[in-house]
Amino acid sequence: MPQQLSRVQLLEEIQKISLVCVDLNLFLDTHPDCEEALRDFNRANKFYRQLVNEYQVTYGPLLGFGQMSTMEQNYNWIKGPWPWERQNRGESL
């Protein structure tokens, strides 16, 4: 089992894979028949979803709605740090 990433580290990983997905998405818009690009896009997309799921299980929802299947016990969205709270902690994300 890999070591646990901090919240900021995991967010950064999500952002990296997200940008890879965006670029591959754009490439496939003009090369819809490129099997290699499609394969990498599917892998990146799957990996992105894994990261997002791991983040949300560990640190709470990334968005207020649409990502978590349910808000299990209570309304977890409000428990995450707000942007100004992150800045006060010296976090970049």
Residues near another protein (CB under 8 A): 2-3, 5, 9, 12-13, 15-17, 19-20, 23-24, 27, 30-31, 33-37, 40, 43-44, 47, 51
Nearer to another protein, 15 or 88 (CB): 15
Output the smallest distance, CB 7 to another protein, in A.
13
Q: Would you tell me how many other CB atoms lie within 10 Å of the CB of residue 7?
A: 16
Closer residue to another protein in complex, CB, 42/67? 42
Is 27 or 77 the residue whose CB approaches another protein more closely?
27
Q: CA 24 to CA 18: how far, in whole Å?
A: 10
d(CA 21, CA 89): 30
Spatial separation of the C-alpha atoms in residues 85 and 33, rounded to whole Å = 46
Minimum distance, C-beta of residue 74 to another protein, in the bound complex (Å): 30
Measured distance CA(89)–CA(37) in Å, rounded:
40
